[in-house]
Structure 1
Amino acid sequence: MFLKRKAVALAAYLLLCGGALQAQEGKMELSVEKIMRDPKWIGTSPSNVFWSEDGKKIYFNWNPEGNREDSLYSVSADGKNIRKVSAQERRNLPSPWGDYNRAETKKVYEKNGDIFLYDIKSGTARQITNTVEREGNPAFNHSEQKVVYEKDGNLYAWNMASGQTVQLTDFRKGRKAASESSDAQRDWLKEQQLTLLQIVRDREGDKEARKKQREADAPARPKEIYVDDKAVDNITLSPDERFITYRLVNRPKSAKVAIVPNYVTASGYTEDINTRTKVGDAQSAYEFFVYDTAKDTAFAVSMNEVVGIYDQPAYLQEKEAKASAAKEVSGGKAKKPEVRPTIMYGPYWSDNGKQAVVVARSQDNKDRWIMKLEPATGKLTLLDRQRDEAWINGPGIGYGAGDIGWMPDNEHVWFQSEESGYSHLYTVNVNSGQKKALTSGKFEVSDVRMSDDKKHWYFTANKVHPGEQHLYRLPLQGGELVQLTSMQGANEVKLSPDEKTLAVRHSYSNKPWELYVMDNKKGAKAKQVTNSLTEEFKSYDWREPEVITFKAEDGADVYARLYRPEKPEANGPAVVFVHGAGYLQNAHKWWSSYFREYMFHNFLADQGYTVLDIDYRGSAGYGRDVRTGIYRFMGGKDLSDHVDGAKHLVEKYNVDPKRIGIYGGSYGGFITLMAMFTEPDVFAAGAALRSVTDWAHYNHGYTSNILNTPYTDSTAYAKSSPIYYAEGLKGALLIAHGMVDTNVHFQDVVRLTQRLIELGKDNWELAVYPVEDHGFVEPASWTDEYKRIYKLFEENLKEKD
């Protein structure tokens, strides 16, 4: 009897995964195969939106015909006359990126490795370079009479009037050849010849005179600067053209790069893919230099006197305090504090060319300094220091210099900081050091830009709700914040060159991205330009997931998306989804980048599951404390948020506590493993996709910020890595991984597999995908993976008859 019921259940499962049936009410019935097809069945949303330089057209990538690739389209500024751009017009378009002169009548840009100067009024481009080498990073000099650009690691300037190109730097690999070494015997013989023989004296004198004449007749050349085997980057010319600043990058030779074997190849042989180093391996070292052309000298800018440069992170201070105390007891000397390695960005020059600031970040990412730079001496004056015992990041801050610029008065610099707990806009006076916050509140600001007339700011903020993004306008010195967009969801805005019109890419939770145009006015109505969705996609009534909050065990508010069946079963099953990327937001009101998972959650809800999609600790959109809530313990608050979410499902939505599953990919796969290993009584089944199993084997850039390094903070890695907890597995576990994953390597799950075998666990399975990287591409792979996930939940979360 049991086998018969199981066969019936399996037949139902195969039916649901296979064809696309029509429901009794006429609504399309979803299936895994339908959802996981090539996404073109949904329709292709417009992307990469940009304005023509004259502001008459909006360009964007689009694919309404369902071709293999997107094409470039254009539409007039009023939203009319949408058309596909011809190949000739596309080739003649200037790059959307580049540098404008102050009047914004000219633009310089790089395209296909060459430099172009574009006249906006006439719409014509002049090609500056046409070489097989690649030129890049073009910009106008301060007088706007030259175009400065980089080629082969050196700086060049092209004079617009004369057409002459001048090389400004001469960086050379290796070391300058040493002069012939001195030898006492040879020196004595030479001196004897000069003393005894007039002809020798005359010829040596002629030789020296010819040398001086050649040097006098030769054109001025930049100083030869030998950089050994270091790389040169961030080359910047000062407005008066006296100073050239640059960075030297010393890339470690000892760093070991991990290899990923590729088994399915055209050659028939296994081929190795070089990927990345592992966290804690040797890292590049950076030095910041000033080349003074007037003095023909170059010198390094020192951070030795900067406040906080010797401050070690708190976790190391505790460690070193114990070590110092032990040395004092034994009579040894305490360790002398060292200057922390840093990387410097800039300089950023005021519009009048008289002042410069730089941004420096410690390579442990605990500090960011904004400092005034005196290029003649290298003196640094601190303007702002942001320190975080976890790590510095956030909108407008990131992992580099962050957004920064000068105010019109040439005395104030604007920047973003999480000083208040949320990323906001600030200014600081470079002379007095006085700082002012222009925005404040429990919301985040991003994509800041100043209006062309220097009277307002434009930026995106989630002020209305953490899950909504709107464009705002703010007076330059702060004041009333004016919301310009009103469509609920997310609004990605590109201002027209005259700033009178907005091109808006908008989406809602159950409506993919479309292009709109609207006037740059409060309350203006947006006009939809594109209609991208297929009739097949529109034939299903896609759910609008409810964005809810619940209380975590520590009292924090946790946001989540909730999907419910039309007729929820009493004590029914539930699935908790864990988004990936760590610092990412998914419990929002716009079309998710996890669109396949969104559709799968609709499918699960149709099958009677309640689905909860949580923005756990570590997610974006909620400020610094949520962002850094996982510091030194991944699998701590981020996992307990999911446990609290499961409890919330039981208490409020009548879910059976013994019928809750969990799944996710990448970071979501990691949390799934931690959940199945450390909270086995909460989650009955889990699917861990492309998951990190041991953080000591992940990359440096991401992992070291959160867990420091394995050799300095081994406890954090042991606490945070699922492989150490595998003995706790009770429920059913599915592990799925691409074999050519160059992000989270297949080695991760191979090591975990061996661990599970040695522990004698038999309630798990491993599904491998030979041709897939971290982000799956092939519809067949997506389909196979999600069939297995659905089968896992059906067999372990549904009640047996």
Structure 2
Amino acid sequence: MKKITLYFAVGAVATALSACMTTEKPVNATPSTDAREVVKVVKPEVTPTGDESGVITLEQIMSDPDWLGRQPENPGFSLDGQSLVYSRKQQGSPIKEVFAASLTNPTQATDVPYDKRHLYKFDEKAVSAGGDTTAIRAGDSIFVYTNNELRQLTRGGSALRGIHFMTDGRLMAQTANRVIAIDVNTGVREQLVSWKFEDKPEAVKAPKDYIAEQQIELIEYIKNKRDDRQLMYDENKKFTNANQAFAPESVYFNKKHRLVTANVSPAGNYAIVVTTEDKPWRNDTDIMPHYIQEDGRIASINARQRVADAEPENHEVWLVDLSTNQKHQLEFTALPGYNEDVLAEVKAENAKAKGETYQVNRLPREITLLESWYWSEPSVRWHQNGQQVALMLEAWDNKDRWIATVDFGNKKLVNQHRLHDDAWVNYRFNQFGWLHQSETLFYQSEHSGYSHLYLQQPGQAPVALTSGQYIVDNPVLTRDDKWLYFEANKKHPGIYEIYRVNLTTKQHETLTDLNGVTEYELSPDEQHLLLTHSKVTRPPELYLSNVNSNSAPVQVTNTVSEQYLSLPWTVPQVVAVESSHTTQPIYARVYLPENYKQGAPRKAVVFNHGAGYLQNAHLGWSGYFREYMFHSMLAQQGYVVLDMDYRASAGYGRDWRTAIYRQMGTPEVQDLQDGVDWLVENANVDRQRIGTYGGSYGGFLTFMSLFNEPDLFQAGAALRPVSDWAHYNTGYTANILNTPDVDPIAYERSSPIYFAEGLTKPLLINAPMVDDNVFFVDVVRLVQRLIELEKQDFETAIYPVEPHGFVQPSSWLDEYRRIYKLFETNL
């Protein structure tokens, strides 16, 4: 699974800007598997090459980001594997062009014409077991590529999704309520399985009451008609089952359910069908008004459900024998912990607060196929031989995740790996699958405290392929089962390089040494890596490397604008701030003005990144690129700026992430206190001249800091902030705080609206009104609370056309002018 950086804070996902240039000297960091052993300060060597006398202005940095250079996006490879491919936005336009360059001459990219784009950018790709045939889905068509020849298999018609090759060479795909197989040579289609959510047709039904029963017994005419219907039904079924002119009968499921997924074995012998109760995802009150419309009216936009309204979800997993069309439910009783009352202590604490007593409940838990808001990969994985299948399941309370196989003979699940977390299982590190040549599983797990890779033969103990205090992500298995490629922050928490591990020897090879943030795509021939690399001061660029060569990667793109390079950006250092509450340091970016140790103590700003679970104190280009430029502007004017990866942040392991369980806003503010102390002791900062700001989760932390530690900061700006977690979404919030009906203590302990009386310092609240992530009502309710508390020193700015992540440059500029004015006025 591709690593994603969360930009929009609490739960929304945005693509990370993560990569760039290699002309810099290595970062001065000591390679280590222990995050606590790294040097205290990491200072990037390269600085922008522009005019050091230039002045950084808000008008420039908040303008349309095209001026930065329009970096490459969505890198990959062409259908034939001979070209690298990427997209790039047109100047001043939302249109994105597609570029391709041969692997032998990667720097000479050309624009791909419209009529050839399907050969370079496609929606799905499948490769046959032997690797000799490739199929792609592009637009509304399927193409097959073999022996250097491309053939179009379909064009238009019913949409096909989920293409895979079968063991007999046919191509399998889902369309509407069925899975079909297509002969890639003749185009002949065969329906493998179909499903319906309705009562199965019956020739005769059992009498519904006493009168109907007597009617059938007493009236021979009625009895004969029933017998004839049954006879004709049975005869027709025999005929259609035996005759090739008819597709197999549909499999019928509960009419109150809906499909979650249907997956057919490559051998065509079995299917896994997962269903769940068909419940509405929202109710009529889940709406968001949009005031600025073309017709001058107000639009009522459907919005998501709140976690306070969430109801438990449970899936049913069915094994369908395609030779008989019979279905068998695979019960969850084989999963260890399926009926544990994992929230017993939480429920007892909340019951005690009400003067009640809680009795332990051993009823089965709600269990689902892994369907996290973050997880987009298939959670049902067939071995390519079609004789084994693995499912990734999770408890709805997200305290457990299981990998289970299926015993086809006994029609039951067999647990292979249980991952339990008293807080919550990470929704990010869940890649798994089968080796190609053996019935062995590989998977990610965080059970050691960090995301690592494991091999496991069913029924045997797992074998660790990686270990240590670092994060492993984006594993890719080679076709010969020799290597697993991966990204990891081995040598420093803020540096991500590419590695591979030999599955036989378990030895690691380091494939890049670029000292920044690097991601990769493995070429179809598995001989090249297309790298996306960035530095702190340089946006992402593409590089091409040969996996079997020690030569340096070749830089493919160079898109950074001269205008950007001409400005004197501040290069932040990455420092390890000593923590008062943990043995691990708190990594942070610090922006230092020139001669900061000289003269009177400085004013400072502490920036709180969004998402909670996001890493920003790394050595690559930040998704918060506007904030990076704003911080450079502040440093140019004499401010010191600190940007901390407080507890809850990504990149530092399970315990760092789960420190906020049931107490959001407490560990993070403790870390901010340590950050303020560090600024005073190490950066010549005046403790009485420090402000703070952040968006979404960062806005939430601004609230919690000003409300609960009013002496910590002298002013704060909360942007698109969460004020009450009961109004946020289920997928994110229920993991950390459980649900409000189960754990109201956690919500009242973690929601700023309950602490608003603590506000004593100037507060700016900036709120987009078309925010379908953190609803505008979060600000509305908090403002009303502040009014009722007779608070005076707060100001609210609204943005009528903006979603959670602002789009209009005018909105960005207005927002940051207000933030800047807040700091200039109060610090």
TM superposition score normalised by structure 1: 0.89
Q: State the one-letter code of the partner of 1:142.
A: T
Give the corresponding residue for 1:27.
53
The alpha-carbon distance between structure 1 residues 184 and 509, as it changes in their structure 2 partners (threshold 3 A), is: closer
Q: How does 1:305-454 map to 2 (within 5 A)?
A: 305-314=334-343, 316=345, 319=348, 336-344=361-369, 346-393=379-426, 395=428, 397=429, 402-408=430-436, 410-431=438-459, 433-454=460-481
Residues 447 and 493 of structure 1: CA distance in aligned 2, closer, same or farther (over 3 Å): same
Shift of 1:449: 1.1
Please tell me the residue identity of whatever aligns with 2:88.
Answer: W
Relative distance call for 1:536 and 1:255 in structure 2 (3 A) is closer
Query: Which residue number corresponds to residue 69 of structure 1?
Result: 95
Where do residues 774-785 of structure 1 align in structure 2 (5 Å cutoff)? 774-785=804-815
* Aligned-pair CA distance for 1:272: 0.8
Match of 1:4 in 2: none
Q: Could you say if the C-alpha distance between residues 207 and 409 of structure 1 is closer, same or farther in structure 2, counting changes exceeding 3 Å?
A: closer
- Number of the residue aligned with 1:6: none
The corresponding residue for 1:245 is 272
**Who is 1:7 aligned against?**
none
**Letter of the 2:724 counterpart:** D
Kindly tell me: are residues 466 and 394 of structure 1, through their superposed partners in 2, closer, same or farther at Cα, counting changes over 3 Å? farther
Q: 1:544: which partner in 2?
A: 571
Q: What CA deviation, in whole Å up to 9, does each residue of 1:62-94 have, x standing for no partner? A: 247554432111122132322222222224546
Matching residue within 271, 286, 294 for 1:258: 286
Asked if 2 retains the 8 angstrom alpha-carbon contact of 1:148 and 1:157, the reply is yes
Unaligned runs of 5+ in 2: 1-49, 371-378
Q: Which has the larger radius of gyration?
A: 1
Q: Residues of 2 paired with 1:674 and 1:193: CA distance?
A: 75
Rounded Cα–Cα distance in structure 2 between residues aligned with 1:730 and 1:235: 56
Q: Deviations over 1:599-651 (max 9, x none)?
A: 00000001110000000101010110111111101011111111110111011
Distance 1:733 1:466, change over 3 A: same
The CA deviation string for residues 486-541 of structure 1, in whole angstroms up to 9 with x for no partner, is 11101121222222222211110001111112222464212222221222111112
How many residues align? The count is 756
Measured against aligned partners, the alpha-carbon deviations of 1:738-774 in whole angstroms (never above 9, x if no partner) come to: 0111100000000000000011111010000000010
Partner of 1:170 in structure 2? 194
The residue aligned with 1:525 is 552
Task: Give deviations 1:661-700, integer Å, cap 9, x for gaps.
Answer: 0000000000001111111101000000000000011110
* 1:76-155 mapped onto 2 (5 Å cutoff): 76-77=102-103, 78-93=105-120, 95=122, 97-114=124-141, 116-128=142-154, 130-131=156-157, 133-144=158-169, 146-155=170-179
CA contact (8 A) 1:247 1:286 kept: yes
Alignment CA distance shift 1:620-1:658 (3 Å): same
8 Å CA contact retained: 2:649, 2:657: yes
Q: Which amino acid aligns with 2:340?
A: D
- Letter paired with 1:487: L
Distance change in 2, residues 1:327/1:89 (3 Å):
closer
CA shift for structure 1 position 191: 3.1
Letter in 2 for 1:749: V
2:595 is matched with: 567
Q: Which amino acid in 1 is paired with 2:675?
A: G
Would you say 1:668 and 2:698 are equivalent positions?
A: yes
Tell whether the 8 Å contact from 2:90 to 2:97 is kept in structure 1 after alignment: no
Deviation at 1:124, TM superposition (A): 1.0
Task: Verify: 1:235 aligned to 2:259, yes or no.
Answer: no
* 2:738 partner letter: N
Q: 1:29 to 1:150 in 2, by over 3 A?
A: same
Which range moves more in the overlay, 536-545 or 440-449?
Answer: 536-545
For residues 341 and 230 of structure 2, the distance between their equivalents in structure 1, rounded to whole angstroms, comes to 61
**Structure 1 pair 728/221, CA: closer, same or farther in 2 (3 Å)?**
same
1:686 pairs with one of 716, 739, 744? 716
Tell me the secondary structure at the aligned position of residue 821 of structure 2: helix
Query: Percent identity over the alignment?
Result: 38
| Equivalent residue letter for 1:265 | Q
In the other structure, the counterpart of 1:191 is: 220
CA–CA separation in structure 1 for the residues paired with 2:702 and 2:271? 51
Query: In structure 2, what is the equivalent of residue 515 of structure 1?
Result: 542
Deviation at 1:56, TM superposition (A): 2.0
Distance in 1 between residues matched to 2:222 and 2:92, nearest whole Å: 87
Q: Whole-Å Cα distance in 1 between the matches of residues 764 and 229 of structure 2?
A: 85
SS for the counterpart of 1:464 is: strand
Gap change, CA 1:283 and 1:277, over 3 Å in 2: farther
1:589 maps to which residue?
A: 619
Aligned equivalents of 2:676, 2:128: Cα separation in 1: 56
Shift of 1:420: 1.1
Deviations 1:566-595 (A, max 9, x none): 132521100000000111100000010000
Please say if 1:767 is aligned against 2:797.
yes
Q: C-alpha offsets along residues 417-469 of structure 1, whole Å, 9 cap, x if unaligned? A: 111110000112214x2221111011111111122332122111110111111
Matches within 5 A, 1:696-775: 696-775=726-805
SS in 2 for 1:537: helix
Aligned partner letter, 1:307? P
Tell me, what secondary structure is at the counterpart of 1:89?
Answer: helix
Where 2:101 maps in the other structure, the secondary structure is strand
Any conservation in 2 of the 1:394–1:418 contact (CA below 8 Å)? no
Distance 1:238 1:774 in 2: 41
Q: 1:464 is matched with which residue?
A: 491
Task: State the secondary structure of the residue aligned to 1:169.
Answer: strand
Matched, 1:535 2:569: no
Letter in 2 for 1:117: F
Q: What is the one-letter code of the residue matched to 1:370?
A: I
Distance 1:712 1:478, change over 3 A: farther
The match for 1:295 is 324
Instruction: Sort the Cα spacing of 1:574 and 1:542 in 2 relative to 1 into closer, same or farther, 3 A.
Output: same
2:315 counterpart residue number: 286
Matches within 5 A, 1:17-56: 27-56=53-82
- Larger RCO: 1 or 2 (CA < 8 Å, sep 6+): 2
Q: Is the 8 A contact 1:27 1:539 kept in 2?
A: no
Tell me which amino acid in the other structure corresponds to 1:341: E
Contact 2:82 2:102 in 1 (8 A): yes
Q: Unpaired runs of 5+ in structure 1?
A: 1-23
How far apart in 1 are the matches of 2:678 and 2:781? 35
Partners of 1:158 and 1:306 lie apart in 2 by 36
8 Å contact from structure 1 (residues 485, 523) kept in 2: no
Q: Distance in 1 between matches of 2:228 and 2:507?
A: 82
Tell me the secondary structure at the aligned position of residue 641 of structure 2: strand
Q: TM-score, normalised by structure 2?
A: 0.87
Q: 3-state SS of the aligned residue for 1:511?
A: coil
Q: CA deviation at 1:318?
A: 5.8
In the TM superposition, what is the alpha-carbon distance from 1:379 to its structure 2 partner? 1.8
8 Å CA contact 1:474, 1:481 repeated in 2: yes
Q: What is the letter of the counterpart of residue 787 of structure 1? A: R
- SS of aligned partner of 2:473: strand
